[in-house]
Chains A and B, each alone.
Chain A
Amino acid sequence: MYVMIREVENSLHKLKFIKEEGRKNAIDAIKEIGKPPVDPTARVDRYLEYFTIGPQSMDPAGIVYKLDHILDVRDTRLKDEVKLMAPASDDVQVNNLENTLEAAMALNFIYKVVRHFYIQGKKTLSLYVIMQIQMILPMVMKEAEAYASALKAFAFGQPIGDGAGPLVAAKLMHGYEIRKLPKDCVMATVPIEGRTALIIKAEGPGGNVGKPGDAVEAVIEENEGKIANVIMIDAGLKLEGETLGEVADGIGAAIGGPGVDQYKIEEKLTKYHIPINAVIIKEDIGDAVSPLRKEINDAVDKVIERVKAVILERTKEGDKVIIVGVGNSIGVGQ
């Protein structure tokens, strides 16, 4: 038990250091970019403690839209806070600063949870309390280190591993006319292999994942459901032993997050009986939130080849296809 407590204690020291660095980085970025008239430290500390209460699920009917509403309110509130903290920043910088603060917030939360188990374990001298946290500690530390390396990437506006989907979409849509879609998404109509591809991604280059669910819904409705196929491209979590940047394809809505967007996309696809395919680029959690690795960047062309193969195999000439690049568009224009 002493060995376990020591191990948790050492990790806790490291987490405290990472958390403090995260907070410091966020404050420095706000001061540098946002030029606040007053010291933003107190506001940042308050921001780091924000919480979101999920909707009540005793009667689950309609819970997705309740959750969607709560997430919208949270997003607006956090963006407003950043604007108050950093009045000199433009929209792109506001998004980047929000991402930086969210990474600092995640680090703060991880530290507090580990500390909670550590103190409780010491108070109760219960092996089982300490064991709970000690057993998952390697994974917790890996995630914390990933967020720590994400801080600078977000503050500087560098593309991250999660941006693999938008990067593919950007490569396909670059040079074509872009129009905005709800919410915080953009679309371009691109001819690919004799078909019309409607390519969607979150608007960049600010840190933003948009709401691809709303965007896909809107495009399907605009085309009265006459869509031959939907292809979603996203970063997928790789298992240990798999190669970074490996490309795989399959079936289903490739989108993470709380599930609201996946639900909306699946609802619309079911309504119009539209098939859905997915292409993923494999990476681990550390790569997903830290600056884009070269292997992932090199996988973009392989993904485009795979998407074209899916289009050729699953659609006919003249068909309309929706291609969605899912992920954070930070550092990726269009």
Chain B
Amino acid sequence: MIVLIVLALSVVSLLLAVSVYLNGVSTPSQAGADDLAAGFLAIIGLVAMTMSMFTLSQSRRQAAEMKIEIPKVMTTIECKKCGIKTVREFQRGDYVYKELDACPKCPDTKQLITAIYKDVKEKEKTYNV
């Protein structure tokens, strides 16, 4: 709420700066003072606008970050006879050492789930210690 008020005030300040610069409020002999006032108003407006926009973008980013990531989990299936190994995405009901359908190469041997894992490529920072 405060951020939005600051943003509105910054817009007002910038408009005032433009108005003072174009029309002026002082007598012709004090024209330099108008430029100075317009400059100050423009600086105040720009700083306030930058700060409020930054705060708004930060809060939007935080809101976007608020989600629970579901990692991709892989299931490794192996045939103990021919050693053929296949990896597919995890399906509900999979568990390690579950027997599946017969191997396509050796019809008399059932395939086995030998591993279920999530493969994340996270490189941990070492901080040089």
Residues of A with Cβ closer than 8 Å to B? Answer: 10, 13-14, 17-18, 21, 148-149, 151-153, 156-159, 167, 170, 174, 204-205, 241, 244, 290-294, 296-297, 331-334
Is A332's CB under 8 angstroms from B95's CB? yes
CA of A244 to CA of B120, assembled, Å:
12
Is A331's CB under 8 angstroms from B96's CB? yes
Is A158's CB under 8 angstroms from B116's CB? yes
B30 at the interface (CB under 8 A from A): no
CA of A174 to CA of B96, assembled, Å:
10
Is B129's CB under 8 angstroms from A241's CB? yes
User: In the complex, what's the smallest C-beta–C-beta distance from B90 to chain A, in angstroms?
Assistant: 6
User: In the complex, what's the smallest C-beta–C-beta distance from B45 to chain A, in angstroms?
Assistant: 25
Interface-facing stretch out of B8-16, B18-26, B35-43, B65-73: B65-73
Given contacts A156-B92, A334-B97, contact A149 B69 (CB under 8 A): yes
> Which 3 pairs, one residue from A and one from B, show the smallest C-beta to C-beta distance?
A205-B95, A333-B97, A297-B117
B98 at the interface (CB under 8 A from A): yes
Is A18's CB under 8 angstroms from B62's CB? no
Given contacts A18-B68, A158-B73, contact A333 B116 (CB under 8 A): no
Is B120's CB under 8 angstroms from A293's CB? yes
Which residues of the partner chain B approach A151 to less than 8 Å between Cβ atoms? Answer: 68
List 24 A-B pairs, Cβ < 8 Å. Answer: A10-B62, A14-B66, A148-B68, A149-B69, A151-B68, A153-B73, A156-B73, A156-B90, A157-B93, A158-B90, A159-B116, A174-B97, A205-B95, A205-B96, A241-B126, A290-B118, A291-B73, A293-B118, A293-B120, A297-B115, A297-B116, A332-B96, A332-B97, A333-B98
B119 at the interface (CB under 8 A from A): yes
Task: Select from chain B the residue with minimum beta-carbon distance to A300.
Answer: B115
Which residues of the partner chain B approach A241 to less than 8 Å between Cβ atoms? Answer: 126-127, 129
Is A21's CB under 8 angstroms from B68's CB? yes
Residues of B with Cβ closer than 8 Å to A? Answer: 62, 66, 68-71, 73, 90, 92-98, 115-120, 124, 126-127, 129
Q: Which of B62, B117, B126 has the most CB of A within 10 A?
A: B117
Q: What number of residue pairs across chains A and B have CB atoms under 8 A from each other? A: 77
Is B117's CB under 8 angstroms from A292's CB? yes
CA of A14 to CA of B65, assembled, Å:
9
Which residues of the partner chain A approach B129 to less than 8 Å between Cβ atoms? Answer: 241
Which residues of the partner chain A approach B117 to less than 8 Å between Cβ atoms? Answer: 159, 291-294, 296-297
CA of A330 to CA of B47, assembled, Å:
55
Is B94's CB under 8 angstroms from A331's CB? yes
User: In the complex, what's the smallest C-beta–C-beta distance from B99 to chain A, in angstroms?
Assistant: 9
Is B71's CB under 8 angstroms from A149's CB? yes
Is A331's CB under 8 angstroms from B116's CB? yes
- 6 more contacts with CB within 8 A, not counting A291-B73, A291-B117, are A205-B95, A241-B129, A291-B71, A293-B117, A331-B94, A333-B97
CA of A205 to CA of B90, assembled, Å:
15
Is B96's CB under 8 angstroms from A159's CB? yes
Given contacts A291-B117, A292-B118, A297-B115, contact A152 B97 (CB under 8 A): no
Is A157's CB under 8 angstroms from B95's CB? yes
User: In the complex, what's the smallest C-beta–C-beta distance from B72 to chain A, in angstroms?
Assistant: 9
User: In the complex, what's the smallest C-beta–C-beta distance from A22 to chain B, in angstroms?
Assistant: 9
CA of A13 to CA of B63, assembled, Å:
10
CA of A88 to CA of B128, assembled, Å:
54
Which residues of the partner chain B approach A293 to less than 8 Å between Cβ atoms? Answer: 117-118, 120
Which residues of the partner chain A approach B71 to less than 8 Å between Cβ atoms? Answer: 149, 290-291
CA of A334 to CA of B113, assembled, Å:
11
Task: Select from chain B the residue with minimum beta-carbon distance to A32.
Answer: B92
Is A291's CB under 8 angstroms from B96's CB? no
Which residues of the partner chain A approach B118 to less than 8 Å between Cβ atoms? Answer: 290-294
